[in-house]
Structure 1
């Protein structure tokens, strides 16, 4: 039996009534309705019906799509066309992905954290180590140099330029000029003797940095001195922390008994700070091993910085050879001897 048998006619099929061509009446399809026709369908008619099956199915779908008793173009619309038309008519909104809420973002962060917890833990441990170890050392330096003259900071990435040498004092001035411009009597270690050159670097608000230089074994040994009230900040970046040394050899000593030894070359930056707290960079240069310590000079306290000495033992020998406080007459004799050495036989100071 054909799929089209027993259904109502639809528009466009042409005269498929009882009298039309190919009609479905008692005599349609040749007018034979008996067992003979059924046998022919079983034998050869099946190929014809199979070829017409797609067309029959499409016709059946159109007849089912049409409403009961509908006429015209509505009967020719497919189910898909009707659905699309209804969507367009109702203007249904197209689904759009909404932004994730705070809870969803929090879950995403938690997932990301779980996947990377090892690297995050290592980073956090390193940060805690830096915060734990560095501030106490820096605070100790602040406590030692409580006048604010020296500030020490550490930077593991700091590498001085190769072949750097300790700078000399440059243009030398007389001892009297150095004392007058610095505002204090510079200290001269007995282990080094009379300096070959003396320089004074002017700072803000009349403050000054005194530099004493000696030529030793083809190199320069430099001793920088500045008063306790100097608002000059040394910012050091070194590859390792300094070694704390007692100048007297005692286990516990005062501030003037402590020295800091920096065994490796480091980067040195001078910063000047004015009365308003504004900081200005004064100089930047490379430096070698350095010894830092303080010493009282009369009513003032002086910070000393020694560089150009490779041996720690030699540096400590120089620091310990500073003369004790002497009477005014003794100070005058020391100044006279240094002045004679700097001026030379001509008696005129080198400018």
Structure 2
């Protein structure tokens, strides 16, 4: 991305894209209409650089306020980097503003990358600017709107009228040099940068790779997968500068992954293997200590699976991928077991048509 773009604040990038909302609704104000302005919509299609995107964390609305707040804070603390613009949504979810930075999304909005019982994560970005009809591009723009901060709307819940607000969590308006979408998705072990047809075909095949928990934290990696990852970190060229993982292996990503391993013996073996079985560039050797310190501050073991998927592909397909699938099946069966126990605990009769 151009420095001219990344150095602009979010407000500078969206100031000409905002549409007023009126009368505590999410409906845009029509030209000449005189109604009370109660918020703003941001149309990502109108962002000139075409690169701003929003990650939407939708937290289960049935959860208590305390549990919702805890999950939102977990998301901020555990799975998002610092340089994102943050907006708390009306129902306690979160919008995280980042740069698409060339990442090819399959569509403009509601691109689901993770779906859990209590958290769903969608991405909104500018991919298609103009509507199509009969295979021909039209002059009409595709609307791609998200609600901006300092916006209010009302809804009726339990026969009670409530006013809900979208509020900036950090210095949203003045944020610059936003992190790239790729960096965030890489840290979650999520890859949706594929043609739309393939995306549809594979959407049900990639769940085993998700490692974000219902609590909004990074899932713990079991020892079997951790050991397999450490065993596979061999014959790699490790660089100093943190490029996207699909391009090259950086020392920071390796340290982040190894520090995320909870088994001390496996972690120690991984540390020893970095230099013993891999080639470090001169700059990587020079900045070894600094990268180690930075990696320890943001541990995430699942980055190792991403490294192996891109840079030790045969090993990933033969060893890591089956383990990830197995891990997914175990978690799925545990989830089913938990539901059954809950049903038995409350003595729910599944044959009762009124249950």
**TM-score using structure 2 length:** 0.22
Q: Which has the higher contact order (CA 8 A, sep 6+)?
A: 2
